[in-house]
Structure formats: structure tokens, C-alpha cells
Amino acid sequence: MHAWYLDDPSHPVPPERLAAEGILHWALPTTEAEWAAPLQAIRDARGYVQMDQVHLGPTTPNLDGLCQKFWEEHLHTDEEIRFVVAGAGVFDLRDTADRWMRVHVAAGDLIVVPKDKYHRFALDDAGTITCKRLFKDMGGWTPVPRATQTAA
């Protein structure tokens, strides 16, 4: 995981700064034999009872349309939890001063976007990602678009 402000890419954003914004991160191993147990421990501790897997890549139907949707700034009324199994991507997240923080995630990264935090997602240049999506329940999963988009 690497994080930086979009308007100041030369200065990394440390994990403590992300944590102060409610953004949680774990660096887990990259093989299932190694990440299965620690992932389950996190699920048990945080009540992530549901999990599925999603994939985005060149063969995904309507990839451009999906990516366009994920790039629209939005929030959720519950946490958005992603564990990257393979590939990579970027989450842009608004800090409390409305600045964009960019978090690049790759295999082994588990990120929690807190509820009510404006964000957007994109693939990186590799163009593919496979993620586990974790949920406390299915109730929080309507994206709420930002009414007034702010220039990046």
C-alpha cells in the first residue's frame, strides 16, 4: 500500500494519517494458504460475516461502464472493505479538509473505507484486480453520489 495526496504526490501519507481519517489498512500475505487465517481473524474481530469475490479485467463485460461508475465520487452508509487477492487499483478518498488522498492497493492489502467517507476507485495501469468484498450485512450497499462534484 502506498498513499499520497493528489496535490502533493512527493510526500507519502503515513498510516497514522490514514487512521486519523478512519481509513484502516492491513498488509496480509499474498498466498491464500498464508492470508486465510489472518483474514478470518479480522473478519471475526470486526464482524465481517459476508464475503464474496469480484474481478475486473480486460475480459469483464462492460468494463468501461463499470469503471466509470466506480470513478464517480460517492459514499456508503456502511464500511467498504476490500481485500486484494491479485492485481491492483487506487482508492481516492477525501480527507476531512476535502483534499484527495490516493491509496494504491495491491495483492495482500486489506483496506477499510469508513462509512460516510467520499471516495472513488480506479484500476491502475495493470488494468486488472481481483478482490474479496467483505460486509457486516448487505444493508449499506447503495452508493450515495456526491451532489456537487469537486474538481480533482
Task: Give the interface with Fe ion as residue ranges (CB under 5 A).
Answer: 80
Positive or negative, the Cα torsion across 66, 22, 51, 125? positive
Q: Whose Cβ is closer to Fe ion: residue 31's or residue 115's? A: 115
Q: Whole-number minimum distance, CB 77 to Fe ion, in Å?
A: 11
Q: Whole-number minimum distance, CB 70 to Fe ion, in Å?
A: 7
Q: Whose Cβ is closer to Fe ion: residue 30's or residue 124's? A: 124
Residue with smallest beta-carbon separation from Fe ion: 80
Give me the amino acid identity at 5: Y
What is the enclosing helix (H) or strand (E) of 132? strand 129-135
- Taking the C-alpha atoms of residue 48 and residue 65, their distance in angstroms, rounded to an integer, is 28
User: Do residues 54 and 125 lie in contact, with contact meaning Cβ atoms separated by under 8 Å?
Assistant: no
Q: Whose Cβ is closer to Fe ion: residue 5's or residue 78's? A: 78
Q: Whole-number minimum distance, CB 130 to Fe ion, in Å?
A: 17
Q: Whole-number minimum distance, CB 116 to Fe ion, in Å?
A: 12
Q: Whose Cβ is closer to Fe ion: residue 35's or residue 121's? A: 121
DSSP 47-82: T--EEEEEEESTTSTTHHHHHHHHHS-EE-SS-EEE
